[in-house]
């Protein structure tokens, strides 16, 4: 089933313009060896939004033309920004949830006939975590928090 919530959620964010394109295959060695820094970041002209600048290892303009988005749960102790994020097909961040330290299983799900962005966040020390599952709808504000 095609997503109805994502076009609505992301339509307003499509006007956000980044200052540089994603790194391409020609940048892979420099990206991997840290030439661009530990966590290359992207700046935006229209909003103050923390974002990582991604590396696209393969690029085929004809096959990669799409409005699809991809979801990442960015986590790591050495990272300056963690949390669930959505990137567009050009590799630019278009949405993120702030104040999320250890996101797992970030995705779109259906529940009772409605679409939600969902993820788990909590403490995963020792192999078993304690935390909460989050459900976010069109307002982009968590509307449900379930202990789990």
* DSSP symbols for 45-81: SSS----BPPB-S---TTTS----EEEEEE--TT-S-
pTM of the predicted model over 0.85: no
Tokens 């935006």, residue? 44
State residue 29's pLDDT score.
92
- Map residue 136 onto helix, strand or coil: strand
> By 3-state DSSP, what share of the chain in percent is helix, strand and coil, each rounded to 5?
15, 35, 50
Tokens 């379930």, residue? 146
The C-alpha atoms of residue 77 and residue 117 are separated, in whole angstroms, by: 24
Residue 96, beta-bridge partner list: 85
**Segments of the chain scoring below 70 in pLDDT:** 1-20, 45-46, 49, 59-66, 126-128, 138-148
Tokens 């959505």, residue? 86
State residue 8's pLDDT score.
47
């Amino acid at each position: 089933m095609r997503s109805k919530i994502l076009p609505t959620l992301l339509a307003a964010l499509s006007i956000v313009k980044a200052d540089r394109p994603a790194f391409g295959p020609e940048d892979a060695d420099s990206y991997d060896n840290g030439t661009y820094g530990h966590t290359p970041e992207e700046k935006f002209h229209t909003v103050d939004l923390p974002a990582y600048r991604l590396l696209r290892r393969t690029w085929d303009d004809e096959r990669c033309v799409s409005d699809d988005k991809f979801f990442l749960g960015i986590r790591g102790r050495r990272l300056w920004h963690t949390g669930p994020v959505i990137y567009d097909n050009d590799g630019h961040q278009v949405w993120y949830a702030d104040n999320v330290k250890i996101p797992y299983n970030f995705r779109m799900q259906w529940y009772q006939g409605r679409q939600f962005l969902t993820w788990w966040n909590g403490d995963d020390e020792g192999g078993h975590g304690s935390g909460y599952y989050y459900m976010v709808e069109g307002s982009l504000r968590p509307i449900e928090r379930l202990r789990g």
